[in-house]
Amino acid sequence: MGRFKQFIAELLGALALILLVHAQDQSDFISIDCGLPENSSYTEWQTGVDYISDAGFIDSGINRQISTEFKGDLQQVWSLRSFPEGIRNCYSIKITQGSKYLIRATFFYGNYDGESKLPVFDVHLGANIWDTIKMTNVSVGFVKELIHVPPLNYIQLCLVNTQRGTPFISAIELRPLPNSTYVTTDGSLEPFWRVDVGSESNLQYRYKYDVYDRIWWPYNYEEWTGLSTSLTIESGSSNAYRPPSVVMSTAATPINDSASLNFNWEPEDATSKYYIYMHFAEVVKLKANQSRSFNVILNGEHWYGPYVPDYLWTSTLYSKYALTSTGGQYAFSLVKTENSTLPPIINAIEIYSVKNLLQSETDQEDVGAITKIKSTYGVKRNWQGDPCAPQAYSWEGLNCSYDGYNAPRVISLNLSSSELTGAISADISTLVMLKYLDLSNNSLTGLVPEFLSQLQYLEVLNLERNQLNGSIPAELIKRSNSGSLLLSLGQNPNLCPSISCTTEQKKKKNIIVPIVASIGGLFILLLGAAGIFWIFKRIREQEGDKVSNLQNVQLESKNRQFTYSEIQMISNNFEKLLGEGGFGKVYLGYVDGNPVAVKMISQSAVEGYQQFQSEVEPLIRVHHRNLTILVGYCNEGPNLALIYEYMANGDLHSHISDAENNSNILSWEGRIRIALDSAQGLEYLHDDCNPPIIHRDVKLSNILLNEKFQAKIADFGLSRVIPTDGGSYVTTVVAGTPGYLDPEYFRSNKLTPKSDVYSFGIVLMELITGRPAIMRSSENVHISQWVNSMVAHGDIRSIVDPRLPNGDFDLNSAWKAVEVSMTCVSENPLNRPTMSQVVIDLKECLATELAQRREDSVTESNDSSSIFTINVTTGTSPSAR
Ligand SMILES: *[C@@H]1O[C@H](CO)[C@@H](O)[C@H](O)[C@H]1NC(C)=O
Ligand SMILES: *[C@@H]1O[C@H](CO)[C@@H](O)[C@H](O)[C@H]1NC(C)=O
Ligand SMILES: *[C@@H]1O[C@H](CO)[C@@H](O)[C@H](O)[C@H]1NC(C)=O
Ligand SMILES: *[C@@H]1O[C@H](CO)[C@@H](O)[C@H](O)[C@H]1NC(C)=O
Ligand SMILES: *[C@@H]1O[C@H](CO)[C@@H](O)[C@H](O)[C@H]1NC(C)=O
Ligand SMILES: *[C@@H]1O[C@H](CO)[C@@H](O)[C@H](O)[C@H]1NC(C)=O
Ligand SMILES: *[C@@H]1O[C@H](CO)[C@@H](O)[C@H](O)[C@H]1NC(C)=O
Ligand SMILES: *[C@@H]1O[C@H](CO)[C@@H](O)[C@H](O)[C@H]1NC(C)=O
Ligand SMILES: *[C@@H]1O[C@H](CO)[C@@H](O)[C@H](O)[C@H]1NC(C)=O
Ligand SMILES: *[C@@H]1O[C@H](CO)[C@@H](O)[C@H](O)[C@H]1NC(C)=O
């Protein structure tokens, strides 16, 4: 089915003639013919759709016409807009926020520039890269489609020059779709195949046949034969998919009466996910002794059925969740049941691949502010599209903060030497996250505004070489003096030099006096420059104290390096053994009255580790509530020890794997909380430690539980110091535990935080299923394979740990958790989420579970199968059949 990938790619070379049928409403359509002269419009005669000029949606680019020899029936490609200037040029189109759209962009080169050189360029949709457009034939068009819910009340579609020719675009079409159609659990949908099976006319059908203006491609296969009816196929109000009657009135059935109807495809890559929509209607009036019923089989497993198509009535069969395949292919078979006298049929098929557009648009307040700044000063830069995203295309002179999930924020603005005139724009105060602001070497006039001092994160403010006058806000001077702001104001001839201005001094006194007073009357006499510095210094020192107060002062204040004899005392001469790992034994001890775990590292394990102390020392400073605190260590000759805070409930492994001997099964909610805790610990190691710490040995036994069952990650940062207890992998090259080991790391030896994400995914799967990472039966089965194959069945209950009582978990929460775990173990590290994304997802998962608890068991009843059909004859809502 490889050739089907070209589906939709090569449309326009020979777009078939389409006859008009009775008119249907197109009032919600947005149909833009790019390059059409301003204010002009026309009606495409084949479809009756009205197209308007793109002039109102973009400021840049030039209108061009394709060469006359290529002008065919389709008028929307006659003109186009090309973008010889600027890296990124963007359309901005108002839409209804929260609504689902079929977005279609059309490209037809038609040798418009007379150069017969086919360009290659990128298209961005908002903050995300949509795709690369590669023209392959002067006379063949290219269509990109996406079913997407844009997050804002406008979309930005950008043409991006990647140095391989001039970008251009012929048409942009937006078609609203009902919310209830094409629902995904994540991501948007890119068409992979949309076919009118058994077509007799060999025409493409779209609007007005199709109310949503989907384009249906005729499809016939040599082992299939056509069936058809001249009657209308109804698609009543409750089947929102509404495939056109003309498409539904033809169907295919196997030529060989007893054979099954098969189709299959191979995923573009291992992580591709698909949604399928099969449309059925009986087109033959069956005799009393005839019947047609069949089962739907996916990759050899029963997927749905037995199913009997209704006469002249459309039913749509689809999966609520993305299909996944373990065998690297998706093979559907419609197999007739034993008592069916007729072979299976199918009328239309749609297959979509999931496209994740994960990058958020820049914070909309920031966008509004920077857009106003752009127009206030008439900034002459290629400032188009989203200011911060995609990151590589952020606006020149802007830098933003990115965390991969939340909306990026503008954190620096450099408009130095940009010929700015007039006052400093108040819109700058809306950029509240600014750390760096450079407006130097312009002709700005007026005062240095107060609002700059409200930018609480500002670290650098450069207003040099302007025409500013008046005095400097006291707060800015204060911050400059305290060292928290680098303030540059030189070469503003009319600016009042800071301290000497009377108004400023008054303000300064007002600020200083209360501070002094609050410290104590004794210091009032110290007023003056030296005093100010001293006081501020003093306050900052106190703040410093406060920070360390938050940590465990008792343990913190103790010398962290213990002698061997101290270790003996702490552990009361190794009295109580807590456990034993690959590195050695663990004993209970007490430091300052607090219980600790003393890990004695066995001699064999530490051979050759010279850097013990230098590796361990920094870990003592790592503090997070989901990381076990390293209290101290011992490094005395052959005696190496690590002292950790004591975790009353031991490791997670014993709670999950050995739970047969354990009457207390961890609840679903408890498991999600533990997963969330652990994820937060890892997130901290990856994102907040400098340099980032990669754990390298994330697994159940390295997650410990305290007396409140709060989870903390253990042994972080140690994989380079002591071998992990992974048996055969005790080399410094590849460390880790079989089953948890990132296959990519194993292959490439390149260590990234994504390796931990992989291992975490395995931990999550173990938490969900209660099964070990490697299931040792007749053949060893890896948990990720197992989960994958079970997901294909679509029954969540068979995935979740059978020891959990059925009512104990919310199905949506379980699905979400399974999904998170599956993305974590994606083969390609790029497709794995970051730990911070995992944290967000797990929070959602927990929220879903908690919400369900609140609603009690009322919502439980409806959902045991993931596959639904919509059948117009049976009621108003999707139902499992
Ligand atoms: C397009 O229409 C607008 C509003 O009627 C008008 O102001 C503008 O001049 C027109 N542009 C052209 C090129 O005719
Ligand atoms: C679709 O859903 C969004 C968000 O849930 C909502 O704002 C919008 O009004 C819905 N559209 C329709 C047509 O129901
Ligand atoms: C371009 O497409 C046309 C029409 O489909 C075809 O006849 C021609 O051979 C193609 N040219 C190339 C270079 O592939
Ligand atoms: C028809 O299909 C059946 C089942 O697949 C097969 O056994 C049989 O040989 C086929 N007949 C022909 C003529 O191909
Ligand atoms: C079904 O009934 C028709 C008459 O209505 C008859 O000609 C045909 O042979 C029957 N077929 C079977 C399989 O019984
Ligand atoms: C065919 O068999 C299925 C069970 O396999 C049964 O549910 C169905 O009613 C039967 N249909 C007919 C027409 O006998
Ligand atoms: C700000 O822009 C100016 C001129 O474009 C440049 O010289 C300067 O290095 C920039 N500053 C930073 C921090 O990028
Ligand atoms: C933005 O970040 C880049 C790379 O870190 C740096 O070179 C540049 O100076 C920054 N620009 C501003 C305006 O801060
Ligand atoms: C100041 O800006 C002007 C253009 O406005 C530029 O020619 C000059 O080089 C800039 N000076 C410095 C020091 O950046
Ligand atoms: C500052 O300059 C502006 C015009 O640039 C002028 O209107 C204003 O009076 C000046 N203010 C002071 C305090 O000099």
Does residue 39's CB lie within 6 angstroms of at least one atom of ligand 1?
Answer: yes
Under a CB-based contact definition with an 8 Å cutoff, are residues 171 and 77 in contact?
A: yes
110 neighbors 138 (Cβ within 8 angstroms): yes
Residue 436 CA: nearest ligand 8 atom is 14
Ligand 9 atom 13, closest CA: 441
Protein residue with least CA distance to atom 6, ligand 10: 446
Which ligand 6 atom sits closest to the C-alpha of 291?
13
> Hey, what amino acid is at 312?
L
Which of these, 569, 563, 560, 565, lies nearest to 616 by C-alpha position?
Answer: 560
From the CA of 443, which ligand is nearest?
9
Residue type, 201: S
Do you find a cis peptide bond into 306, omega within 30 degrees of 0? yes
Ligand nearest to the CA of 255: 4
Classify 233 as helix, strand or coil. coil
Tell me if residue 42 falls in helix, strand or coil.
strand
Ligand 1 binding pocket includes 38 (Cβ within 6 Å): yes
Successive 10-residue mean pLDDT values, the chain, 881 residues: 36 34 71 96 93 95 94 93 94 95 96 94 94 92 94 94 96 95 91 94 92 94 93 84 95 94 89 92 95 94 92 92 82 94 96 91 93 92 90 92 86 94 93 95 92 92 91 87 87 67 34 29 29 30 30 38 85 85 80 83 64 73 83 82 86 76 76 92 85 84 87 80 40 62 76 89 92 79 86 83 80 89 90 91 87 51 34 25 20
Cβ of 819: how many Cβ atoms within 10 Å? 17
Protein residue with its CA nearest to atom 9 in ligand 10 = 446
Could you tell me the distance, in angstroms and rounded to a whole number, from the CA of residue 38 to the centre of ligand 1? 7
Centre of ligand 3 to C-alpha 135, Å, is: 12
Q: pLDDT value at position 234? A: 86
Q: Whose CA is nearest to atom 5 of ligand 8?
A: 399
Tell me the H-state helices in 206-258: 245-248
Query: For residues 227 and 250, is the Cβ–Cβ distance under 8 A?
Result: yes
In ligand 2, which atom is closest to the CA atom of 178?
A: 13
Ligand 8, atom 13: nearest CA belongs to which residue?
414
Pocket of ligand 6 (CB under 6 A): 291, 306, 337, 339
pLDDT at position 663: 59
- Whole-number pLDDT of residue 56: 95
User: What CATH number was assigned to the domain covering residues 25-177?
Assistant: 2.60.120.260
Q: Give the closest residue to 770 by CA, choosing from 674, 846, 661, 659.
A: 659
Q: What is the pLDDT of residue 658?
A: 65
Which class for 794: exposed (0-12), middle (13-18), buried (19 or more C-beta within 10 A)? Answer: buried
Question: How many A from CA of 139 to the centre of ligand 3?
Answer: 7
Determine the residue of 447, 467, 469, 472 to mutate for testing ligand 10's pocket, defined as the one with the most ligand atoms within 8 A of the Cβ atom: 469
Structure tokens at 797: 């209950």
Domain 397-525 superfamily per CATH: Ribonuclease Inhibitor (3.80.10.10)
Phi-psi category of residue 586: left, alpha or beta, with phi > 0 → left and psi -120 to 50 → alpha: beta
CA distance 111 to 785: 50
Closest ligand (CA of 41) = 1
Q: Is-same-fold flag (25-177; 188-355)?
A: yes
Q: Give me ligand 8 centre to Cα 460, in Å.
A: 13
Q: What is the DSSP letter of 429?
A: G
Residue ranges of E strands in 66-112 = 79-82, 88-94, 100-107
Atom 13 in ligand 1: residue holding the nearest Cα? 38
- C-beta separation of 588 from 576 below 8 A: yes
Rounded to the nearest angstrom, the distance between the alpha carbon of 428 and the centre of ligand 7 is 18
What CATH number labels 188-355? 2.60.120
In the prediction, which pLDDT does 732 show? 41
Residue 261 Cα to ligand 4 middle (Å): 12
Whole-number CA gyration radius for the chain: 33
Rounded to the nearest angstrom, the distance between the alpha carbon of 415 and the centre of ligand 9 is 12
- Residue 30 Cα to ligand 1 middle (Å): 20
Per CATH, which fold does 653-866 belong to?
A: Transferase(Phosphotransferase); domain 1 (1.10.510)
| Distance separating alpha carbons of residues 312 and 287, to the nearest angstrom | 15
Closest atom of ligand 4 to CA, residue 260 = 5
**Closest atom, ligand 1, to C-alpha of 38:** 13
Cβ burial, residue 576 (10 Å; 0-12/13-18/19+): exposed
**Ligand 2 centre from 100 Cα, in Å?**
8
- Rounded CA gap, 410 and 414, in Å? 11
CA separation, residue 219 to residues 125, 207, 222, 346, 348 (Å) = 31, 19, 10, 12, 9
- Contacts for 95 with CB less than 8 Å, ≥ 6 apart: 30, 101, 150, 153, 154, 155, 174
Beta bridge partners of 584: 581, 601
**In whole angstroms, what separates CA 665 from the centre of its chain?**
33
pTM attached to this predicted model: 0.62
Q: Closest-lying ligand to the alpha carbon of 401? A: 8
Instruction: Tell me if 401 CB under 6 Å of ligand 8.
Output: no
Q: Which atom of ligand 3 is nearest to the CA of 10?
A: 5
From the CA of 339, the nearest ligand is 6
Residue whose entry in the numeric block shows the structure tokens 């009466």: 257
Where are the domains positioned within the chain?
Answer: 25-177, 188-355, 397-525, 547-645, 653-866
Contacts with 856 (C-beta within 8 Å, 6 or more apart), sequence order: none
For a ligand 3 pocket test, name from 70, 134, 137, 142 the mutation site with the most ligand atoms within 8 angstroms of its C-beta. Answer: 137
Query: Could you tell me which residues are beta bridge partners of residue 398?
Result: 413
- Look at the block and give the residue holding tokens 């051979």: 607
Is 470 a pocket residue for ligand 10 (Cβ < 6 Å)? yes
| Cβ neighbours of 622 (radius 10 Å) | 16
Residue spans of beta strands (DSSP E) within 266-420: 274-280, 294-298, 301-307, 315-319, 330-336, 348-355, 398-401, 409-414
For ligand 4, the distance from its centroid to the CA atom of residue 258, given in whole angstroms, is 6
Whether the ω angle into residue 151 lies within 30 degrees of 0, i.e. cis, is: no
The closest-lying atom of ligand 6 relative to the alpha carbon of residue 339 is 1
258 lines ligand 4 (CB under 6 A): yes
Distance CA 815, CA 849 (A): 11
The bound ligand whose nearest atom lies closest to the alpha carbon of 118 is: 3
Q: How far is the CA of 470 from the centre of ligand 10 (A)?
A: 7
Residue identified by tokens 């580790």 is 609
13: nearest Cα among 106, 102, 105, 83: 106
The helix (H) or strand (E) run that includes residue 589 is strand 584-591
Closest atom, ligand 8, to C-alpha of 399: 1
Using a 6 Å CB cutoff, which residues line ligand 2? 98-99, 179
**Residues forming the active site:** 697
List, in sequence order, every residue forming a beta bridge with 263; answer none if it has no partner.
332
Ligand 3 contact, 13 CB (< 6 A): yes
User: CA 348 to CA 220: how far, in whole Å?
Assistant: 11
- Taking the C-alpha atoms of residue 838 and residue 835, their distance in angstroms, rounded to an integer, is 5
Dist. CA 291 → ligand 6 center (Å) = 9
Which pLDDT belongs to residue 559? 55
Number of neighbours of residue 46 by Cβ within 10 angstroms: 18
Q: Is 554 in the pocket of ligand 3 (CB under 6 A)?
A: no
Cβ < 6 Å from ligand 5: which residues? 287, 289, 341
Token output for 261: 């109807």
Tell me the best of 255, 256, 262, 333 to mutate to test the pocket of ligand 4, counting ligand atoms within 8 Å of each CB and taking the most: 256
What 3-state class would DSSP assign to 759?
A: helix
Place of tokens 């301290």: 499
394 CB within 6 A, ligand 8: no
Q: Which residue's alpha carbon is nearest to atom 2 within ligand 7? A: 416
Query: Cα 789 vs. chain centroid, distance in angstroms?
Result: 24
Contact 706, 609 (CB under 8 A): no
User: What residues have CB less than 8 Å from 482, skipping those under 6 apart?
Assistant: 536, 540
Residues 6+ apart with CB under 8 A from 502: none
For ligand 6, pick from 293, 335, 881 the residue to mutate: most ligand atoms within 8 Å of CB.
293
Greatest C-alpha distance within the chain: 110
CATH architecture of 547-645: 2-Layer Sandwich (3.30)
Residues 6 or more apart in contact with residue 185 via CB below 8 angstroms: 320, 321, 322, 815, 819
User: Which amino acid, 271?
Assistant: T
Q: Map residue 333 onto helix, strand or coil.
A: strand
Other beta carbons less than 10 A from residue 329's beta carbon: 12
